[in-house]
Amino acid sequence: MLAIERKQQIYSMVKDNHMVYVSDLSQKLNVTEETIRRDLKDLERRGLIMRSHGGAVLRDDAAPSFTEREDINFGPKSIIADLAQEFIKDGMTIMADTSTTAKFVINRIDSSKKLTVITNSYKLINDLSQKPNLRLFATGGECFGMYKAYVGRDAIATINRYNADLAILGCFGLAQDRGLMENNSEESDIKMAMAEHSLKTMICSDSSKFDRYSKVNTIKFGDIDIFITNEQPDETWLETFKKHRIKCVYPN
C-alpha cells in the first residue's frame, strides 16, 4: 500500500470513529507504530486531525474532501459560475485551482471559446479533458489525495514557468482583517503562485465563506481584481471591496 493510500485510510477511520489509537491503526494497516505516528503528524500538519495521547481525533474545522465539497452549495456555485463567464474571453490562458467553484466556472465556459487552462486539479483534468475547446496543462507534483490536487515545489515550479491572463481561485474563508485564508499551507502556496503569475485574479466564493477564519493567510485584498459571490454582501464588505478597488459581482 502506498503511503498516500494509507493516510487516506487513516483519515477515513478518524472521520468514521472520531478518535483512533496508534496501536489499533498499526495492527489494522500492518505497519509499525512509528510509521503511524509519522502519518498522523503529516495529517495534523495538513490541518485534518489533531494528535492526542496515543492516537488522534478529527479537527472540528477540518475541510471536507473534493468529492464531498462538490455536493455542497450546488445552487450558489452555479450562480457564481454563470456570473463569471463575462470575464472569460476567447483565447485566454487561465490558471485554476482545485476549488469546486473554479471547476463549475470552467465547466460552464461556452464551447466556442478556445482557452488554455493550467491547473493543479487532476479532478478537473479528468472531468473536462474531453472538451475540445480546452487545452489543459497539469502542474504535476505531489499528490494531495483528498483534494484531488497536485501540490508542493514541483507544482509551484510549473506554475512559475507560465503567465496567465486570469487566475480563477476559491477560498476556505475570508475576513476583513485577514484577506483570504486556507485550511492548509499546501493549497495556500498554490493559490499565491497562481495569483502572482496572472494579470488578474478572480476569487469565486459563496456567501458562507464571509467572516470565516482559517489557519493559513493566503491572498491579501490588494492582490484581488474581481470577487464573485452568490448574493449581495453587507455594506461593510462592499466598503472593503471598494477600498481595495475590487470589482464585486453578485446577482441583481
Contact (CB, 8 A) for 20 and 14: yes
User: How far is residue 219's CA from residue 188's CA, in Å, rounded to a whole number?
Assistant: 8
- Per-residue pLDDT in tens (0 to 9) along the chain, 252 residues: 788 889 888 988 887 777 789 999 999 999 999 999 999 988 887 777 878 778 887 765 555 554 555 545 578 899 999 999 999 999 999 999 999 899 999 999 999 999 999 999 998 999 888 899 999 999 999 988 767 899 999 999 999 999 999 999 999 889 999 999 988 889 999 999 999 999 999 999 999 889 888 778 999 999 999 999 999 999 999 999 999 999 999 998
Closest C-alpha among 70, 92, 90 to residue 81: 70
Whole-number pLDDT of residue 71: 47
Which domains are assigned to the chain?
3-58 (1.10.10.10), 67-249 (3.40.50.10470)
CB under 8 Å to 252, separation ≥6 — which residues? none
Contact (CB, 8 A) for 142 and 155: yes
User: How far is residue 49's CA from residue 30's CA, in Å, rounded to a whole number?
Assistant: 21
For 139-206, the three-class secondary structure string (H helix, E strand, C coil) is CCCEEEHHHCEEECHHHHHHHHCCCEEEEEECCCEEECCCEEEECCHHHHHHHHHHHHCEEEEEEECC
Whole-number pLDDT of residue 2: 83
First to last CA, the chain: 52
Q: Hey, is 245 helix, strand or coil?
A: coil
User: How far is residue 29's CA from residue 1's CA, in Å, rounded to a whole number?
Assistant: 9
Contact (CB, 8 A) for 228 and 84: yes
